[in-house]
A and B are shown apart, each in its own frame.
Chain A
Amino acid sequence: MTPELLIQLLVSGLGMGFIFALIAIGLALIYGVVGVINFAHGEFLMVSMYATYLGFSVGGLDPLVTLPFVAIGMFGFGMVVYYVLMRRVLGAALHAQIFATFGLMVFMQAAAQFVFGADYFSIDHSLLSGALHLGSITLPLPQMAAGVGALLCSAALYVFVFRTGPGRALRAVSQDRVAALTMGIDADRMNALAWGLASACVGVAGSLLSNFYYVFPRVGAIFVLVAYVAVALGGFGSISGALLAGVIMGILQVLSGFFLESSLKLVPVYLLYLVVVLIRPKGLLGRQ
């Protein structure tokens, strides 16, 4: 066990952790503002990965080039889903809300399978292929870029939510909807904004992921499961909590995969979650 190896593992875990975090932040945002859990969140990720792949294979565009377009496109997609589907069920019973996003998940998966088939597609030889070698430490560029990109995106979102007018309005709705309404904040528009931002986040995550992960109809489920845990671990609705939890989980799973059994690498992650839920039910940075 050399220090280089430990650094190598931490770096790899950190890169993966920021990706988990970016996906989880979207979930947390929707839950915090709109008060629903988006079960189709993983499928939003899948759609943005397919979009990035299509841009590469059909248009010859590098994922880095398509990234802003995918993010903007997903922002629009999220708003459309809110206005067309979610707004209708917001006042309805809880199970109606669950079934709406769950149904969307099933529909999107099946649609992807119908259009693209069950095959695995992956992007080869993008601008970000290869690795950086620092002594005995290898930094795979796609993963590093994904980590940095996810970090930048989270930071930008953080600034938006905490330092701008619309961001404050968003937080106001999330903290006390009735009070926000009496202050003249249009909660409906804030809901749509939250859906849009959350979808843009997975859009960025999907674009960055496509550099090193293959896309297939069920790819979303693999990542979003970890993201659900990150949201719960960080505290429901807390953006900084989701970020912290995502990073912790990324590092923890790489370390436990190396030092424990590979097939048990998520066990310490879920164990930590259990402990946090028992000791601090609202999550690491949750409020209430």
Chain B
Amino acid sequence: MKRFLRVRTVAGLFCQMLLPLFGCVLLAMGGWARAQDAVRIGALYPLSGPVAKSGEDTLNAIRLAVDVINGKYPDSSLPFAKSGGLPNLKGAKIELIAADHQGSPEIGAAEADRMITEQKVVALIGTFHSSVASTVSQVAERNEIPFITGESEATPLTERGYKWIFRTTPSSLSQARDFFVFLRDVNSKRDQKIKTIAIVHENTLWGQEFGTSMESYAKEFPEFTIVANIGYQQGTTDVTSEVQRLISLKPDVVAHASYDAEAILFAKTYKQYNFAPQGILAIGAAFSSSAFRNALKDDANYFLVREHWALDLANKNPLIAEVAKIYQERYNKAMDGTPARAFQAMMTLADAINRAGSTKPEAIQKALQQTDIPASALIMPWEGIKFDAKGQNTKARGIFVQTIGGKTVTVWPFELAQSHLVWPKPAK
């Protein structure tokens, strides 16, 4: 015991006398000491459990963003890549601290708490699951630490009056708006006369929310009429009655929210009864999935799916090409929409911290509120990033992809299109 004490005293003396000396030396080396204080950011993702793979893919995109910011890719034309670190913080690097929330809102909250109090993170990013984002944002709000999410979509997250949550991705509610903007664009730029829309959705929360948000956005677009809102039971044996109703109503366009199984069933039944509206639009990837294409072969063509992002956008945006290439090389996997959005969220956070010029939470919050990133600096097909008072990015939008010749290509927004939109859907 005595001996231990003595060791400690010696160590203490050493620290007291020598460390300041070291400090002086380092200070003398010019700004180095400040650079040592890395900016700590906590990332919360599901790294075990049923969606561990997706969680890992998404976190990888954030790791990649951090390495870009820290100057690991000096040849890149992405923000911060050349300077390496955050210039307004004297080149401070970002240190990413990752935690596994296992898909559990409770664990997510506990980990967020631990990161804030013990590891002194200045901001949080995450969390894939909206349910976890809900509790993590509560912890962030209580501790007054900014929380940014690039992929948790549930609308209520930004409807609770929180001051410390910022969301770059479109909420699930606003995704329905893209359908109307798209149709209005098709009418004006492709000289069509689309008027009537039928909504077909599965009957769980996701599909119901799509149905109600389509109805609510319809008021904003008076040129369109919603002629039917058909909610069907998931796991149904046949959809003849639903399709017969559609046939009798003759809508110009059908907007779908369906999972894989019913997407196949509906597409097959449409064909059987020769139901051929001008276009069939869908939210969620079911109508462009490989299961769908395998089941329907040639009949899988010309369905339109609203997506967040597509790899072929790289042809129009060199930043996307760059990031997708590095991602593929590093993780041996093609990037997709969720990692791309997480990457963008991390870049947005870094941009705000840099503009804040400080790691004080209030300063970062203020900088986030003033965020105004132009479309040209993004790897997302958005019009920019600007948050409203609720913390929701108002300039986000989706894209529409169409399966043409068995391949899924971006066809809208027209300025980003890789292939000419096939409209109306050819009846076969």
A contact set with B: CB distance below 8 Å: 5, 8-9, 12-13, 16, 119-122, 124-125, 131, 138, 140, 143, 212-214, 216, 221-223, 226, 253-258, 261-263, 265-266
A64 to B200, CA, bound (A): 33
Closest chain A CB from B291 CB (angstroms): 5
**Which A-chain residue is minimally distant from B271 (CB atoms)?**
A131
A261/B231 in contact, CB under 8 A:
yes
Interface string of B237-272 (1 = CB under 8 A from A): 110111011001000000000001100110010001
B260/A266 in contact, CB under 8 A:
no
Closest chain A CB from B253 CB (angstroms): 18
Q: For the complex, is B419 an interface residue (Cβ under 8 Å from A)? A: no
Report 5 cross-chain contacts, Cβ distance below 8 Å, ordered by A residue. A5-B248, A9-B240, A212-B272, A213-B237, A222-B236
Q: Assuming the A-B contacts A222-B235, A262-B230, A262-B231, are A121 and B295 also in contact, with contact meaning beta carbons closer than 8 angstroms in the complex?
A: yes
The main secondary structure of chain B at its interface with chain A is helix
A212/B268 in contact, CB under 8 A:
yes
A9/B241 in contact, CB under 8 A:
yes
**Which A-chain residue is minimally distant from B275 (CB atoms)?**
A138
**Which B-chain residue is minimally distant from A139 (CB atoms)?**
B272
B261/A214 in contact, CB under 8 A:
yes
Q: Assuming the A-B contacts A119-B291, A214-B295, are A16 and B273 also in contact, with contact meaning beta carbons closer than 8 angstroms in the complex?
A: no
B420: A residues at CB distance < 8 A: none
B295/A140 in contact, CB under 8 A:
no
Closest chain B CB from A240 CB (angstroms): 23
Q: Assuming the A-B contacts A121-B295, A124-B296, are A140 and B244 also in contact, with contact meaning beta carbons closer than 8 angstroms in the complex?
A: no
Known: A5-B248, A263-B203, A265-B233; 15 extra A-B contacts, CB below 8 A, are A9-B244, A12-B240, A16-B238, A119-B291, A120-B264, A122-B268, A122-B295, A131-B272, A131-B273, A131-B274, A140-B272, A221-B235, A222-B236, A261-B231, A262-B242
The main secondary structure of chain A at its interface with chain B is helix
B260/A258 in contact, CB under 8 A:
no
Selected contact of A138 from candidates B203, B245, B274, CB within 8 Å: B274
B261: A residues at CB distance < 8 A: 120, 214, 216
A263 to B199, CA, bound (A): 13
A254/B240 in contact, CB under 8 A:
yes
A122 to B265, CA, bound (A): 10
B8: A residues at CB distance < 8 A: none
Selected contact of B232 from candidates A5, A140, A263, CB within 8 Å: A263
Number of residues on chain B facing chain A (CB within 8 A):
28
Q: For the complex, is B297 an interface residue (Cβ under 8 Å from A)? A: yes
Closest chain B CB from A21 CB (angstroms): 13
A119 to B273, CA, bound (A): 26
A262: B residues at CB distance < 8 A: 230-233, 241-242, 245
A223/B237 in contact, CB under 8 A:
yes
A258/B265 in contact, CB under 8 A:
no
A124/B241 in contact, CB under 8 A:
no
- The 6 A-B pairs with the shortest beta carbon distances in the complex, nearest first, are A257-B241, A140-B272, A12-B240, A258-B241, A122-B295, A262-B232
**Which A-chain residue is minimally distant from B248 (CB atoms)?**
A5
B235: A residues at CB distance < 8 A: 221-222
The winner among A121, A125, A258, A266 for most chain B CB atoms within 10 A is: A258
Q: Assuming the A-B contacts A121-B295, A124-B296, are A222 and B242 also in contact, with contact meaning beta carbons closer than 8 angstroms in the complex?
A: no
The winner among B232, B240, B248, B272 for most chain A CB atoms within 10 A is: B240
Q: Assuming the A-B contacts A257-B242, A258-B241, A265-B241, are A124 and B265 also in contact, with contact meaning beta carbons closer than 8 angstroms in the complex?
A: no
A5/B272 in contact, CB under 8 A:
no
B203/A12 in contact, CB under 8 A:
no
A255/B295 in contact, CB under 8 A:
no
B260/A120 in contact, CB under 8 A:
yes
A9 to B238, CA, bound (A): 12
A125 to B295, CA, bound (A): 10
**Which A-chain residue is minimally distant from B260 (CB atoms)?**
A120
A258 to B228, CA, bound (A): 12
B273: A residues at CB distance < 8 A: 131, 138, 140
B260: A residues at CB distance < 8 A: 120
B236: A residues at CB distance < 8 A: 222, 265
B274: A residues at CB distance < 8 A: 131, 138
The winner among A5, A265, A266 for most chain B CB atoms within 10 A is: A265
Q: Assuming the A-B contacts A213-B265, A263-B231, are A124 and B237 also in contact, with contact meaning beta carbons closer than 8 angstroms in the complex?
A: no
**Which A-chain residue is minimally distant from B299 (CB atoms)?**
A124
A140 to B243, CA, bound (A): 13
A8: B residues at CB distance < 8 A: 244
Closest chain B CB from A254 CB (angstroms): 5
A138: B residues at CB distance < 8 A: 272-274
Closest chain B CB from A3 CB (angstroms): 13
B241: A residues at CB distance < 8 A: 9, 12, 253-258, 262, 265
Closest chain A CB from B254 CB (angstroms): 14
A5 to B247, CA, bound (A): 10
**Which A-chain residue is minimally distant from B228 (CB atoms)?**
A262
A263: B residues at CB distance < 8 A: 203, 231-233
A214 to B267, CA, bound (A): 12
B245/A124 in contact, CB under 8 A:
no
A120 to B258, CA, bound (A): 14
Closest chain B CB from A213 CB (angstroms): 7
Interface string of B160-195 (1 = CB under 8 A from A): 000000000000000000000000000000000000
A122 to B267, CA, bound (A): 13
B244: A residues at CB distance < 8 A: 5, 8-9, 12, 258
State which residues 211-239 of B face A: CB under 8 Å: 230-233, 235-238
A127 to B27, CA, bound (A): 82
A222 to B237, CA, bound (A): 7
**Which A-chain residue is minimally distant from B268 (CB atoms)?**
A212
**Which B-chain residue is minimally distant from A130 (CB atoms)?**
B272
A142 to B102, CA, bound (A): 45
A143 to B233, CA, bound (A): 21
Q: Assuming the A-B contacts A262-B231, A263-B232, are A214 and B264 also in contact, with contact meaning beta carbons closer than 8 angstroms in the complex?
A: yes
A143: B residues at CB distance < 8 A: 238, 272
Selected contact of A120 from candidates B231, B240, B242, B291, CB within 8 Å: B291
A13 to B261, CA, bound (A): 21
Selected contact of B233 from candidates A12, A13, A216, A266, CB within 8 Å: A266
State which residues 56-79 of B face A: CB under 8 Å: none
B240: A residues at CB distance < 8 A: 9, 12-13, 16, 254, 257
A16 to B241, CA, bound (A): 12
